[in-house]
Each structure stands twice: as C-alpha cells, then as structure tokens.
Structure 1
Amino acid sequence: MNKGDWENRLKKVEKLAQSFQQCPLTSCYKPRLSRPWQPSSIWKLFPRQCMAINFAQSCREDVHVFALEKEQAKMGQRIFLVTSYSELWHYYSTYRQSLMHCYEVIPEGAVCKLYFDLEFHRPSNKGFDGKCMVASLIQYVCEKLEEVYGIECSGKDVLNLDSSTEEKFSRHLIFILPNAAFKDNLHVGQFINLILQPVLSVHRRGSELENDVGGVTEDSGKRGLIGSPQAKRPRQEERDLSFLLVKNKDGQDGLFVDLGVYTKNRNFRLYKSSKVGKNAAFTVAEDNKFITKPKRNVSAEESLFQSSLISNVSFTGQKILTWDLHDERDGICPKPHAQLGSTSHCVSDSLGGYQCSPHKEVDNFVLSVVKRDGIQGSIRRWNYFVSEQLLVYDILKYRWCQNVDRFHKSNNIMILVDLKEEVWYQKCHDPACKSFRSSSYPLPQDICVSYLITMDEEDQAYLMDDVGNIELSQTLPAEKYLGGSAATLPQGEDRDPWGDEPDDQAYLEALEDVERSTGDLAEDDVPDELLLQTMTEFESLKDVCLSATKC
C-alpha cells in the first residue's frame, strides 16, 4: 500500500470518529427501579402505534401504550412507548425534556372514565367566563348521570386540568365516578352526544340558516336564531345550554365541547404535558375541587397523575355504563343496565348475536367453553379492562356453575379471561355464589397473544439512554421507519464507511510489517494490575464527563 492510500484510509477513520463523537451510539436502556413494590421494568419504544399495542397485549406485565412527540420531529409524527403507569411516572417526572409531550393511548374497546376536552378562542369570545362555563357543564353532566344511571356525583368527583393561554381557553375534565365507568370511549361519545342534543340541534340549525342567507350578523340575532319562527319553541327548551355555543377564530359557530376525542385508540394529552412547540402544559386548575386519595407507597402527585389516566380502571366492583344510539325510544333513552360486567350488545359486527371484542379468537374459545349436555351458551355482553388485561364475558342461556356443580335455575354466570396470565375462570351472578371464583385453567396456546406476537429486543426501533435522550436505534436501518432510502447517500460517499470490502494485498502486507516491528512488545501479556488501574481511571474519567454534561 502506498502512502496516499494509507492517508485516505486514515482520513476515513478520523471522519468516522468525528461523526460518532457528534452522534454517539446510545446505550441500551435498562430501567433501574429500586422500589420492591413496583412491577417488572418494561420500557420499549416503537415507530408505529399498532406495533406498540400488539407488544403491550403480548406482555404479562402490567403495561400500557403512550404516544410521544419530539421537538425535532415532523409535525404530527409520534413514537410510541410501552411501559407501566408507575414506571412512566418515575421517568416522566425526571426527564421532562424528553417526555414533555406525552399522550395516553386509550385502547379500543377498553373500559374507561368519562372525560371532556373543552376549549374556545378567547379573542373571538370576549366576555365569556370559562370557569363559569366549566362549572355549569359539570353540574349538567352530574344531573344527567343521576337521571340516567342513578349515580350521584359532584364537582368533587371531577379532576379539572387547565392548559389555557391568553389566546385559548383549554380544559380537560376527567370524571372519577364512585365505582362506575363506561364500556369504552365510543359509548362515552354516544352519551355526550345524546345529552348535548338540544345545543347540537341549535348549532346545526344555526349553520343551516347561515348557509341559506349567506351569513348572519349580530343584529339578526345571536347564534343566527332570533327572528326564525321555527326556532322559538326549541330556543325555550335549549336556553340553559346556550353557553356551550362559541365562536372559533374564524368567527364561525362552534361548540365548547370537542366531540372528536371519542375515537378508537385515541391519543389524549397527559397531565403535565404540552403540545410540541407549545409551553402550555396541563396543570391542576384553580377551580378544581377533586382531591386525590393516595394509596400506600404512592405520592399525592403520582396519585393525581394516575387518576388523570382515562383507561386506568380496575375491574373490582365497577358498574359498567352504556348508552347506545339504537336504544333511543321517542327521544328518551331508557336506563341501561349498570351492574358488574354489564353492557348492551350491538347488532353490527356481530358474531352469534353479540358485538365482537377486540380479541375474536378468545370470543370463539369462550363459546366453546359454555357448552354442556346439549346446551350451547352465547355471549350476552363483554367488557375489557385494559389496566388488568381482563376480558369479562356475561353468558346467556348457560348457567352451569362449578361451585354448586349444576345449572342454576335463574342466575347466569361470567367467564373471565386473564390475557396477562393466559388463563380463564368462572364467576357467578347468583347471590349464593357471589364470592366464588373457580380454579384457573390455561388458555389454548393458539389463542394466547404471546404465542401470536413475538418481539425480539433488536426489533425495538428507538432507545432511551441513561439521561433521557430518545434516539433511533443504531441496529436497524433508519429508512425502514423514517421513509428514507439507502440510495440517498451524498455523492462521493462510500456506501460502506467501515471499509468491509475485501482488503487489498498491499494493505495486508503493511499490517504484517507493523506486526513484525512491534512483535517484541507483544511477547509478554499486559499485567492484570495495569489493566485494573486503567479501567479504574477510565471509569472515573467517564463519571466526570457525565457530570459535566448534566450540568
């Protein structure tokens, strides 16, 4: 090898060294929670929401999915984190720079709390009192909950979070109802749409009138309804909810309540998080009346955080609330069942007369279980508690109870499937068997999520280092997740920067010359004492550098 070739290779190595100093390889994240009551540590990052949801469902640990936004990422681009509630809080309260734009992913079909996203544009709604509007809405919703479900609640049961700015009034309301929750957030949306029908009707008529006349002025009536004979009677009935009608920044009619946040796998911004590029994080509102009751080994702040999580609902003692559109009769919705594990079924997307759960393979297995002595049971209703990965099936036409070893005469049974432990067991609606729980039986392997979904450690697209930096994993090609291409290398750049092509003969000969010239130095092994001393000095130097970086 001539001198020119050697210099070119030396420059290439120096260039690589410089690039890795600027963008160092991140160390594999290893959570280190020292508290013994905490769950096993899981912390995995994914580029796609479906990948994160699939992995979370395959874990036996109590984990959930969250969405993260990064400052440098494209607008709207998110990565997805799978971890436990307690571990997220541990690092969420530590690495605020990396975890300051977080969203809870509300899983499809999961039992959840009643929640609202409220906002209006301040300059377009001068004179509007946001606090009074929030208080009026809470009072109205509490009245409806008592009227329909018999649930008594007040402002003390509502966590009121505020992220308002001078330009926009913004609130999140989370109802922590006493031993009650909704079947899923689609049912929450149906309930809210129906109780807001009076003001929605006004909003629709106002929009239609505005379109017909080419716009309205304040002189023709606020909301564009005064002067319309057809609107006189509805206006009298809807007068109490008129405070929910607001103007957007373009001056068009809108609603104080955002009705677009009740969709499958919805991303809902967390307490203490802001939108990317914004500084307004959700904090406890001044007019909040909810007071958290911390559990053992949980701080008041962490307890408040866990209360704010929409799908953090336990199975024990919960009444499941539903309100389906097809249940309406003459504009009045009858009281739905509000008992443990109860929901109403839907004729759409049905299998055997009931709406399929998110795990259709498990549905089919349960149908095979409720069959005995010529009697084939069916699934009347189901509920999914994502916080415990528990599917609860209410069974119809099949009353075999293992506790009494016979069929009950009138009361039905429940089949509970624990997706985390991959087992199923039976409980009973009969008062005499209220506290009974059968033995646990393993689920067939072919329906276990852990069998259907396998994830290797190297499949993780993102890593988080010990100081909270989240970077794309170096073990996977970036173009696979970022939409790039390996063909987009700058002109003149070697496709193989490490020089892994076969070495030429001149290069091998040069290496042999170097080895021969240093052969005398390599005859003896390096003493162990010297190695230990070198490693100690290296570790000390690394700690000093790390401390300087944090400062």
Structure 2
Amino acid sequence: MDVSTFYKKRKKEKEDIESSSSKVQRQLARIEYSILAPSSKLKLFHKQEDAIKYRGSDNSLGVFSFEHSTGGKRMFLVSGELVFWNHYIDLTNLQRRHYEVIAEQRPCKLYLDLEFKKRDNEKLDGNTMVNNLIQALNTFLQKTLQVTGYKEDILILDSSSEKKFSNHLIYPGLVFRNNQEMGHLIRSFVDSLIPVEAKQFQVKKGDEIQWFIDLGVYTKNRNFRLYLSAKYGKSEILTVSANDIYTVKLLEENHHQHKFDLEKEIFFSSLVTYTPGITDFISFKTELTQSCRKKSEQPAAKLTNLRTGEKSPFLEIDDFVMKIIAPGFIRKWNYIQEESIIIYDVGGTRYCGNVGREHKSNNIRFVCSLKLGILNQKCYDPDCAHYRGPDIPIAPELLPWTQFTDWDPESTGEGPGDPEGTREKEDPQ
C-alpha cells in the first residue's frame, strides 16, 4: 500500500467515526427536549476513561458504550438510565450494539457469563448445566453469605447460536460493593467444588478444558452486553432465555397494572450497575473479617482472611505450602469453614504448572482440602482458569487434629494454633 492510499484510508475511517458521532449527538439533542428526566449531563465520548471521569461519583448517571464499526471500535455515552432507555428502545435491532460499562468500585448486581462452543461439546445440554450451576451456586451463597435464593430470583438472558451456547445470569436482588469482590466470591465458589462437582461445569475448547463460567468478566471497567443488543456484525440478540422464570414472576406480580411495561422492567433488572435505593451492599471483604463460632452459636461459617506475615490456624499446612512455593511466600489465606478448604494466595513466584513457566502478571494460588488431605495449584490467569494442578498429598502427621474421633471440620472452628476456636484477626495495615 502506498503512502497516499494509506492516508486516504485513515481519513475515511475518521470521517466514518465523526459521522457516527454526529448522528448520535443529533439523537441525544432530540431526547433532551422530549423527555422530562435529568438530561443536563448527557454526553458522548471517544474514550472510555473520559466517560468514566465525566460521570465521577454521580450515581444518577450510567456509562454505556456502543460498537460503531468492525474490530470492536466503540464510543461511550454518559446518561441517566431512564433517558438512555427511551433512546435505546427507539433504535432498530441493527442499531442496538450496546454495552453497559461496569466502572471500577461501582456497586453492581451479581452476574455471570456462561458459554461454550457446541461443536466441541456436542453431548452437553446448556440449559441443564445452567440449572445445575444455579443450584450449586445458591447452596454456596447460603453457606458463605447466609443468602437464600431460588431460580425465579435470577434473570437468565440468552444469545446462543448454532455454533455457541451463551447465557448471562443476573441476580437483581444481590448487590455487591464492586465486581472485583464479586469475582473473588465466584472464584472461591469454583475452588470449593470437589472434582466430581467441578466436572459438570467444565467445557472443551479445542483440546483445552475450561470453566463454563467466564472468570475473566470481573475486571475493572468491564463492558457487559445489554439486553436486546447483538455484537457488531452478529445477528444473535441477547434476549430472555426459554429457561428463564424470573420474567414469569414479574408478570405474575404485576398483572394488575394496566400499563405494565415488561420490556422496560427486564431492561432495568438486567442493568448490573442500576441499584437505586440500595445502600446495604454485600462486601466479601467484610465477610472475610467476621469471626466464626461453632454452628450452635452462629447459623453458618464465614470466610476468613489474613494478609502477609500472618499465620493461619493450620500451622503445619502453612509450613508445607511454604516449602513448595519457596522462595515465594503466602500473601494471604482464606478459609472456607463449611467446605473445610484453605486457599493460599502466593507471592514471590508466579510459576504455573499448566504453562510450565511463570506468568508475566497473574498470580497463582494453592487450594488445600482438609477433608481429602490434598493440595492443588490453581491460577488467576483467565487462560488457566480451568486448570487444577495434580493432587499433592498431605502427610497424615501434618493433619494431627483429624486423628481425634470427635473432630468435625464443619462444626467447630477449633484447630491447631487456634485453641479458642476463633478466626478473627486484624489486618496489620
């Protein structure tokens, strides 16, 4: 390609973007004059960081994006959710290529992204896997957060095609402080699964095994596709799944309302960061620091956490892990009492058995099952999310407390180095 052709192409791309921007601005101008809603702060941006900065801490505004050309090129819109909805619902199916930006540290509803390629998983039934996952996750939420949930409380959206199964699960009633803490909870759920349970939520991608749950969607400023939108150049619209019963409940609860707008209710239920009136957010870190007493004294155990330099109640296991990861160190430990599992986050080394080398940026962790007496290496890298390292047996002499006939890991907090049965420690920072 000669120089003149190259610059003509770049000029054409710029004109296309400016044309798209002008069209949206004209649409937004009409909205400002036609809707009685807070629209003074309604603006279009070319960069996501500028849109997020403009929104600031104004909880009455949301940040959205839309694809305007091939290659995933996007523009960003800051708007009140109601104003946006009135604009969005007037678009055609071909025009809806929109996403919600889940800004860092913003409260959001619990959400999951589930998918697998059908060609690689011909024997799998996606809806059955979703139902089994809901049951397993709800059980985990009850144990760790004392939250009781049912399938009818979860909005299930679908954009599956002939080639791919794809669902979004959204818990409108469970709002976390941010999606990073939510990601910690989902990873803890995955880590708590014993091999037989884990197998039903694993899928093939070529020659690799991956999780049915996409563990990479809990990063900061994640773009999450909107209800009624399709990806640019694709025809599969994200709509209500035939497996969903949340919308049935909505209809049953609102059948008496003459002007009930089901599409609008589904849209606002599906908006992950739309949490008006909610001030009591679930904080997984808060759960981590609460004390754990015996079941007779407390309904269910909490997850506990200690940071660098602190020992867990299981001193023998700590020393065993330290020998394996040397010259690394234990950054923090998490203990899930209900599952009798300790999760060790490791620093000083990122060596992953799956790739046979250290990762450049993502850390690793070791998961110890006290019930089974084994240790497995796992990884925070999305490409290794499915990986569970070989079983590393833990010698019985390192689990001396299990030799007592009256010891029950699910009914007591007592263990080595913790004679009082407490689990609460203050972070030194």
> TM tier, shorter chain?
0.5 to 0.7
For 1:144 and 1:35, locate their aligned partners in 2 and report how far apart those are by CA, in whole Å.
Answer: 47
Secondary structure in 2 matching 1:161: strand
User: Quick one: structure 1 residues 309 and 97, their matched pair in 2 at CA, closer, same or farther if it must change by over 3 Å?
Assistant: same
For 1:160 and 1:113, locate their aligned partners in 2 and report how far apart those are by CA, in whole Å.
Answer: 13
For the Cα contact (< 8 Å) 1:133–1:244, is it kept in 2?
yes
Instruction: Give the alignment's Cα RMSD to 1 decimal.
Output: 3.1
Partner of 1:197: 191
- The aligned amino acid for 1:182 is F
For 1:300 and 1:306, locate their aligned partners in 2 and report how far apart those are by CA, in whole Å.
Answer: 10
Partner of 2:270: 308
- Give CA-to-partner distance per residue, 1:264-316, whole Å, 9 cap, x none: 11111111111111111111000101133679976221111010011112344
Partner of 2:61: 63
For the Cα contact (< 8 Å) 2:113–2:168, is it kept in 1?
yes
For 2:86 and 2:32, locate their aligned partners in 1 and report how far apart those are by CA, in whole Å.
Answer: 8
Of 144, 148, 155, the residue aligned with 1:152 is 148
For the Cα contact (< 8 Å) 1:198–1:238, is it kept in 2?
no
- Which one has a larger percent strand, Structure 1 or Structure 2? 2
For the Cα contact (< 8 Å) 1:31–1:41, is it kept in 2?
no
CA drift of 1:157 comes to 0.8
Partner of 2:204: 247
CA drift of 1:43 comes to 3.2
User: Quick one: structure 1 residues 296 and 58, their matched pair in 2 at CA, closer, same or farther if it must change by over 3 Å?
Assistant: farther
Secondary structure in 2 matching 1:68: strand
- Give CA-to-partner distance per residue, 1:391-439, whole Å, 9 cap, x none: xxxxxxxxxxxxxxxxxxxxxxxxxxxxxxxxxxxxxxxxxxxxxxxxx
Alignment of 1:210-225 (within 5 A): none
- The aligned amino acid for 1:193 is R
Partner of 1:274: 230
Partner of 1:47: 46
User: Quick one: structure 1 residues 311 and 296, their matched pair in 2 at CA, closer, same or farther if it must change by over 3 Å?
Assistant: farther
User: Quick one: structure 1 residues 33 and 79, their matched pair in 2 at CA, closer, same or farther if it must change by over 3 Å?
Assistant: closer
Partner of 1:162: 158
For the Cα contact (< 8 Å) 1:274–1:280, is it kept in 2?
yes
CA drift of 1:122 comes to 0.4
Partner of 2:422: none
- Give CA-to-partner distance per residue, 1:164-209, whole Å, 9 cap, x none: 00100000000122xx42111001110010110155xxxxxxxxxx
- Give CA-to-partner distance per residue, 1:13-42, whole Å, 9 cap, x none: xxxxxx9xxx89767441346887633354
User: Quick one: structure 1 residues 298 and 321, their matched pair in 2 at CA, closer, same or farther if it must change by over 3 Å?
Assistant: farther
- The aligned amino acid for 2:188 is L
Gaps of 5+ in 1: 1-18, 200-236, 336-551
Partner of 1:186: 180
For the Cα contact (< 8 Å) 2:39–2:83, is it kept in 1?
no
Partner of 1:132: 128
Partner of 2:392: none
Does 1:123 find its partner at 2:119? Answer: yes
Secondary structure in 2 matching 1:118: strand
CA drift of 1:66 comes to 0.4
- Give CA-to-partner distance per residue, 1:47-67, whole Å, 9 cap, x none: 0001111112276x8221101
User: Quick one: structure 1 residues 238 and 269, their matched pair in 2 at CA, closer, same or farther if it must change by over 3 Å?
Assistant: same
For 1:258 and 1:251, locate their aligned partners in 2 and report how far apart those are by CA, in whole Å.
Answer: 18
For 1:327 and 1:297, locate their aligned partners in 2 and report how far apart those are by CA, in whole Å.
Answer: 49
Secondary structure in 2 matching 1:52: helix
Q: TM-score, normalised by structure 2?
A: 0.58
For the Cα contact (< 8 Å) 2:31–2:83, is it kept in 1?
no
- The aligned amino acid for 2:65 is A
Of 166, 169, 175, the residue aligned with 2:171 is 175
Higher RCO by CA contacts (8 Å cutoff, separation 6 or greater):
1
Alignment of 1:365-444 (within 5 A): none
For 1:38 and 1:296, locate their aligned partners in 2 and report how far apart those are by CA, in whole Å.
Answer: 23
Partner of 1:333: 336
CA drift of 1:84 comes to 1.3
4+ aligned runs moved over 4 Å, structure 1: 23-29, 33-37, 293-298, 323-326, 328-331
For 2:305 and 2:213, locate their aligned partners in 1 and report how far apart those are by CA, in whole Å.
Answer: 24
Q: TM-score, normalised by structure 1?
A: 0.45
User: Quick one: structure 1 residues 86 and 334, their matched pair in 2 at CA, closer, same or farther if it must change by over 3 Å?
Assistant: farther
Q: How many residues align?
A: 272
Larger Rg: 1
User: Quick one: structure 1 residues 155 and 35, their matched pair in 2 at CA, closer, same or farther if it must change by over 3 Å?
Assistant: farther
User: Quick one: structure 1 residues 321 and 109, their matched pair in 2 at CA, closer, same or farther if it must change by over 3 Å?
Assistant: same
CA drift of 1:99 comes to 4.0
